[in-house]
Amino acid sequence: MNQNTWNDFSLIFLSTFVEAIPFLLIGAFVASLLELYVSENTIRKILPKNIFLQIFAISFTGFIFPVCECAIIPITRKLIQKQVPVPVALTFMMTVPIINPISLAATYFAFPQHPQIVIYRIIFGLAVSWLGSIFYLTTKSGAILAPTFVPCGCTTHEAGHATSCTHDHKQHLPKQTSALNRFLSLIRHTKNEFFDVGVYLIFGSAISAFIQVILPDSALSIIQKHESISLVSLQLLGYILSLCSHADAFVAAGFINHFSIYAIMGFLITSPLLDIKNTIVLYGSFQKKFTNLFILRIFILIFIVITIYYYTGKYLPGFSL
């Protein structure tokens, strides 16, 4: 790597990383507030009785729950344990990371020249979650929950511990805590959440910069030649990079000059739903068979939804990307 290439890499890497930091920090703080002060049971109380209305209603809670995928799996497991129907809980798990206000705001600022990407992230996210929930309409909690919980390996059980593990840290809290102790717990929780996810952001920013400055145009042209190959490639990249949904848009923005918006949408929908770090957490919370099928079904469903729109959207006035 010559000096000019290194300078380009450093500039792109730092700009991507620094631009995403505020959204990651805000997301970590708000997620910590929800973890410490909002009960999952509150969601269940406001749901309608009809299963389809429940799926429809809970899919929009993402607009008011700024929680990224790093915390959503343990919350989903708790909802299922509280007898929330499986398809409803899974809809919640799929929509919240995509359409929460922090993710949407980050997407808007990451793509200032393409504001329609925000709208399509909402549309595709809701479509995938609704269609994905259909697979589990008759599924009972016992068929998907892991028989035993994976030990979290904590050395201390504070409320401030990161939520990426499946252990319920609230049970270790004293029933009566002072305002100062709760505030300190909030700060610790935010710090752990931020640094846990920040590691993946660094890695993702580096990969994005690498693709832009290292890979020759000939290598990119092989992927770009067919829209379907581009779409699958960015879906796989979204899975591998394991970015937080509060920051993935800034990495995706680095691909705007190399891939179509359709392929980038595949990245933006896959990344919040499926990635390596969340796969590990899924295996800890749910049965292996369910996890394997869920990942495969959602990955294929994302491809199908975006591909259908690729061929039909151009016939809908005002709906073409």
pLDDT in tens, the chain (321 residues): 678 888 888 887 887 778 777 777 776 786 677 667 767 667 667 788 899 999 999 999 889 887 777 678 877 887 888 788 999 999 999 999 999 998 999 999 999 989 999 999 999 999 999 999 999 999 998 889 888 533 344 444 444 444 444 444 444 444 456 788 888 888 888 888 778 767 766 877 787 677 667 766 566 666 777 889 899 999 998 888 878 787 889 889 988 888 889 999 999 999 999 988 788 878 888 999 999 999 999 999 999 999 999 888 766 545 555
Q: How far is CA 118 from CA 29, 112, 238, 247, 296, in A?
A: 23, 10, 17, 14, 25
Whole-model pTM: value is 0.73
Question: Residue 145: what are its φ and ψ, rounded to 5°?
Answer: -70, 140
Instruction: Give me the numbers of helices (H) and strands (E) for the chain, helices first please.
Output: 14, 0
- What is d(CA 107, CA 284) in angstroms, rounded to the nearest whole number? 30
How many Cα atoms sit within 13 Å of 16 on the Cβ side? 29
The domain limits of the chain are 3-315
What three-state secondary structure class fits 50?
coil
